Amino acid sequence: MSAVATGPAAGLPRWAVVGLLPVLNLLAAFAVSGLIVVLIGESPWDAVRILVWGAFGFEEAIGYTLFYATSFIFTGLAVAVAFHCGLFNIGGEGQAYIGGLGMALVCLHLDFLPFALIVPAAVIGAALFGAAWAFVPAWLQAHRGSHVVITTIMFNFIAASVMVYLLVNVMSRPGSMEPESRDFAPHARLPLMHDVLAAVGIDVAASPLNLSFLWALVCSAGVWLYIWHTRAGYRLRTAGASPPAARYGGISPPREIVVAMLVSGALAGCMSLNELMGVQHRLVLEFTAGFGFAGIAVALMGRGHPVGIILASVLFGALYQGGAELSFEVPRITRDMVVAIQGLVILFAGALEFMFVPVVRAVLARRSGG
Partner 1 sequence: MRDREEPLETTREAGAPAVELRGIDKRFGAVHASRDVSLAVAPGTIHGIVGENGAGKSTLMSILYGFYRADRGDIRIAGRTVEIAGSEDAIAAGIGMVHQHFMLVDTFTVVENVILGAEGGSLLASGTARARGELERLAREYALEVPPDARVGDLPVGLQQRVEILKALYRGADILILDEPTGTLMPQEADHLFRILRRLRAQGKTVILITHKLREIMAATDRVSVMRGGRMVAHRDTAATTVAELAELMVGRRVLLQVEKGPARPGPELLAVERLSVRDERGASRVRDVSFNVRAGEIVGIAGVAGNGQGELLEALAGLHPAAGGRILLAGEPVSSGGPHRRRRGLAHVPEDRRRMGLVLPFEARESAILGYHDDVRYRRAGLLDWDAVSRDTEAKMISFDVRPADPRRITAAFSGGNQQKLVLAREIERDPLVLLVGQPTRGVDIGAIEFIHRRLVAMRDAGKAILLVSSELDEIMGLSDRILVMFGGVVAGELPADRATERALGLLMAGAGPGAGAANEARRAS
Partner 2 sequence: MESLTLLVLVLDSTLRLSAPLVLAALAGLFSERSGIIDIGLEGKMRGAAFAAAAVAAVSGSPWAGLAAGIGTSVLLAMVHGYACITHRGDQVVSGLALNILVSGLTAVLGIAWFAQGGRTPQLPGEARFLPLEWPGAAALRDVPVLGALYGELLSGHNLIVYLAFLAVPAVAWVLYRTRFGLRLRAVGENPESADTAGVPVVGQRYRALLCTGVACGVAGTYLSLAQSAGFINDMTAGKGYIALAALIFGKWRPVPAMLACLLFGFLDAVAIRLQGADLPVIGEVPVQLVQALPYVLTVVLLAGFIGRAVPPRALGVPYVKEG
Kindly list the residues in this chain that would bind partner 1 in the complex (CB under 8 A).
5-6, 10-11, 225, 229-231, 234-235, 237-238, 241-242, 244-245, 247-250
Q: How far is the CB of 113 from partner 1 (least distance, A)?
A: 31
| Closer residue to partner 1 in complex, CB, 47/236 | 236
Partner that binds at residue 201, options partner 2, partner 1, none, CB closer than 5 to 8 Å by kind:
none
Residue 3, helix vs strand vs coil = strand
Please give the residues from 143 up to 182 whose contact with partner 2 meets the rule CB under 8 A.
144-147, 149-151, 153-155, 157-158, 161-162, 164-165, 169
Is 342 a binding residue for partner 2 by CB under 8 A? The answer is: yes
Considering beta carbons, is residue 176 or 230 the nearer one to partner 1? 230
Q: Which entry of partner 2, partner 1, none binds 10, CB below 5 to 8 A by partner kind?
A: partner 1
Comparing CB distances to partner 2, the nearer of 288 and 342 is 342
**Phi first, then psi: what are they for 192, rounded to 5°?**
-80, 150
What residue 248 binds from partner 2, partner 1, none (CB within 5 to 8 A, per partner kind)?
Answer: partner 1
What is the rounded distance in angstroms from the CA atom of residue 313 to the CA atom of residue 298?
A: 6
CB 368 within 8 A of CB 319: no
Q: What burial letters (b/e) apply to 301-313, b meaning 16+ CB within 10 Å?
A: bbbbbbebbbbbb
To the nearest 10°, the Cα dihedral for 5, 15, 24, 320?
Answer: 110
Residue 275: name its binding partner from partner 2, partner 1, none (Cβ under 5 to 8 Å by kind).
Answer: none
DSSP state of 183: P
Q: Give the CA count within 13 Å in the CB-facing half-sphere of 366.
A: 5
CB of 230 to partner 1, least distance (A): 6
Query: By C-beta, is 126 or 326 nearer to partner 2?
Result: 326
Q: Which residues contact 336 (CB under 8 A, 6 or more apart)?
A: none
Asked whether the beta carbons of 22 and 349 are under 8 A apart, the reply is: yes
Instruction: Pick what 352 binds: partner 2, partner 1, none; C-beta below 5 to 8 Å, kind-dependent.
Output: partner 2
| 24 part of the interface to partner 2, by CB under 8 A | no
Which amino acid does the sequence have at 365? A
Q: Which is nearer to partner 1, 6 or 169 (CB)?
A: 6
- Distances in Å between the alpha carbon of 122 and those of 54, 109, 113, 135, 207? 32, 11, 11, 20, 22
The Cα–Cα gap between 236 and 199 comes to 42
Q: How far apart are CA 174 and CA 165, in angstroms?
A: 15
For partner 2, the binding residues (CB under 8 A) are 8, 36, 39-41, 88, 90, 136-137, 140, 144-147, 149-151, 153-155, 157-158, 161-162, 164-165, 169, 290, 293, 296-297, 300, 332-334, 336-344, 346-347, 350-355
